[in-house]
Amino acid sequence: MSLTHDDIARIANLARLELHPDESERMLTQINGFFNIVEAMRAVDTTGVEPLAHPVAVIQDVALRLRDDVVSEPDQREANQRSAPAVEQGLFLVPKVIE
Amino acid sequence: MPSPNKPLHDFGVAELAGALRDGKLSSVEATQHFLERARSHADLGAYLAIDEDLTLRQARASDDRRAAGAAGPLEGVPIAHKDIFVTKDLPTTAGSRMLEGYRSPFDATVVRKLAEAGVVTLGKLNCDEFAMGSSNENSAYHPARNPWDRTRVPGGSSGGSAVAVAARLAPAATGTDTGGSIRQPAAFCGITGIKPTYGRASRYGMVAFASSLDQAGPMARSAEDCAWLLSSLCGPDPDRDSTSLDRPPEDFTRTLNDSLDGLRIGIPSEFFGAGLAEDVRAAVETCLKAYEKLGAKLVPISLPRTELSIPVYYIIAPAEASSNLSRFDGVKFGHRAKQYTDLVDMYKKTRAEGFGDEVKRRIMIGTYVLSHGYYDAYYLQAQRIRRMIADDFQQAFRVCDLIAGPVAPTVAWKLGGHGNDPLADYLADIFTLPASLAGLPGMSVPTGFGEGGMPVGLQLIGNYFSEARLLNAAHRLQQATDFHLRKPEGI
């Protein structure tokens, strides 16, 4: 299997990354090189094997923890917005989305 | 209390804590000394941020706590944090332009817990961008240099942490390990580091790379110092980290001196194959012989899917990274492009400008393997083999208590040595990836020197929650050898 320039463009769009043509070219070669070593993995028979997400689940049950849906944090809007690129009256500014 | 025999910067964490406790030294004195060292060795590139006034204020506050009888176990000991842990009072960049100038509204749990134990923060340490790399060359700011040979890499991604500790610019540092990022730089710089069982240290406030793999741990010059730090930084964080395990904190220093008599050390044949450099093999075998003298038995074992761990890891980690890094959109924090036409263009240009090459590559790989039609063939397949790899370890631990082998196939390579070939870096991670995928605790212990006089690291891997045993085995080795006490020329 080999990726094409169209694949790279499609993935870059999904990933919201602008790639310059030379970057895109380099990425194609490198990613195809990488997928050569992935082939060995695809050939492994994994029939009946459950995917492992939390590694410690190999030896014990790990339930994802949920906490009560209650307000626990104080208002920190100013601290939270201190590093935002554009803020006005406590709101994050983005380019116009709806005409 | 600098003495003619032993300068203050050769004091480890336990020694400093002792001297501070005995009133032979103040935190301000110790802290000033390390700040001065950091300043005069800036050419090593270890630190990304230092704020001397802030640090000295923390040291004075620590001395005041001690005077008031409220000293923590690590009271007054100055350490530094990898710049992947967010800190309220110091900038956090994760080694990326994307977060240049970023100020976190909170401290990472690991940072908070260590502060509660009394440590003073010397600064933030260089690392590969978003912890993606094995050489620290992916830092967007500057490379870090290996103090044993400044033309070589210190390893990564916790490269700045390893340099700071090896060059005595900090007695210890925090690091994070996703696929070997504590163990490999520790090995390359001749220091000691441990990655605990996945879920033991909170990930809250660690800038996320691959959430099912990321773990925090200490890097220091001895196993004893690592034990002190690890005891303070582990513990459940139920409200902040959904994968943190309900496992009470433990005093890892308690069993450091236990006997190794009868300890069964598994030697995986796959870790000693053709890909292992002869100098590394020789150094590792020296320490295995030392273990036999200490009463341990070497048991041959097999980890048959060692090689497969490379593609499995480099599918899972980028997949999780592509998801985690989608938060960098130029809206809530971080960089935003100056010129754009609309919202989507703003995202694309922001991310193109803010991320470096390796990060972009991993986002691309991750996005692809998670995309419609490929998810089962790549991501789920990788997670299935991940279980097989974890099962292989459980099989091995039926006949042994610990597993030992090299940390990396070679000693540290030259800066630029892997050129523009990301695959070369990936392949060099082969011996650290299996334990990462299985979520097992692993450590790196200095085990001698190889080509060019460069340090070699012995990797010890334990079963889940066996950190105390690992540290005990490492400590006993360090009582019998002096590799961890050697220091780079001119340091």
Cβ burial of B262 (10 Å; 0-12, 13-18, 19+) is exposed
Partners of B322 on chain A (C-beta within 8 Å) are 15
Mean per-residue pLDDT, A17-28: 96
| Residue B200 contacts A, CB cutoff 8 Å | no
Q: How far is B430 from chain A (nearest CA, A)?
A: 13
DSSP H/E element including B444: strand B442-449
| Residue A74 contacts B, CB cutoff 8 Å | no
Q: How far is A42 from chain B (nearest CA, A)?
A: 7
| Residue B371 contacts A, CB cutoff 8 Å | yes
- Return d(Cα A30, Cα A53) in angstroms, integer: 27
8 Å CB contact between B330 and B336: yes
Which residue from A minimizes the CA distance to B425?
A34
Contact across the interface for A94 and B346, Cβ inside 8 Å: yes
Helix (H, G, I), strand (E, B) or coil at B280: helix
Contact across the interface for A37 and B423, Cβ inside 8 Å: yes
DSSP letter at A65 equals P
Partners of A85 on chain B (C-beta within 8 Å) are 330-331, 333-336
Helix (H, G, I), strand (E, B) or coil at B403: strand
pLDDT given for residue B2 in this prediction: 46
pLDDT tens-place string over residues B117-157: 999 999 999 999 999 999 999 999 999 999 999 999 999 99
Q: How far is A11 from chain B (nearest CA, A)?
A: 6
pLDDT given for residue A97 in this prediction: 85
Partners of B390 on chain A (C-beta within 8 Å) are 52, 55, 58
Which residue from B minimizes the CA distance to A39?
B311
Which residue among A11, A46, A64 sits closest to B368, beta carbon to beta carbon? A11
Partners of A18 on chain B (C-beta within 8 Å) are 345, 348-349, 351-352
| Residue A48 contacts B, CB cutoff 8 Å | no
Contact across the interface for B343 and A53, Cβ inside 8 Å: no
Helix spans in chain A (H): 5-14, 21-42, 77-81
| Residue A85 contacts B, CB cutoff 8 Å | yes
| Residue B381 contacts A, CB cutoff 8 Å | yes
Which amino acid is present at A91? L
Contact across the interface for B343 and A82, Cβ inside 8 Å: no
ipTM of the complex: 0.95
Look at residues B99, B82, B56, B260 and name the one whose alpha carbon lies nearest to residue B155.
B82
Residues in chain B with pLDDT < 70? 1-4
What the block records as the tokens of B483 is 């590799």
Contact across the interface for B333 and A12, Cβ inside 8 Å: no
- Return d(Cα B18, Cα B37) in angstroms, integer: 21
8 Å CB contact between B190 and B486: yes
Contact across the interface for A18 and B348, Cβ inside 8 Å: yes
Mean per-residue pLDDT, A55-79: 87
- Exposure string of B473-486, with b = 16+ CB inside 10 Å and e = fewer, is bbbbbbeebebbee
pLDDT tens-place string over residues B210-263: 999 999 999 999 999 999 999 999 999 998 999 999 999 999 999 999 999 999
The number of CA neighbours under 13 Å toward the Cβ of B230 is 35
| Residue A58 contacts B, CB cutoff 8 Å | yes
8 Å CB contact between B129 and B356: yes
Look at residues B67, B47, B59, B46 and name the one whose alpha carbon lies nearest to residue B16.
B59
Which residue among A31, A49, A58 sits closest to B365, beta carbon to beta carbon? A31
Partners of B363 on chain A (C-beta within 8 Å) are 15, 17
Q: Is 0.95 surpassed by the pTM of this model?
A: yes
Please provide the average confidence, as pLDDT, over all residues in chain B: 97
pLDDT given for residue B416 in this prediction: 94
| Residues of B with a known catalytic role | 82, 157, 181
Look-up of token digits 């967010």: B86
Radius of gyration over every alpha carbon of chain B, rounded to an integer in angstroms: 21
Contact across the interface for B351 and A17, Cβ inside 8 Å: yes
Q: How many CB pairs under 8 A join A and B?
A: 177
Partners of A81 on chain B (C-beta within 8 Å) are 332
Please provide the average confidence, as pLDDT, over all residues in chain A: 92
Contact across the interface for B311 and A55, Cβ inside 8 Å: no
What the block records as the tokens of A51 is 């995917």
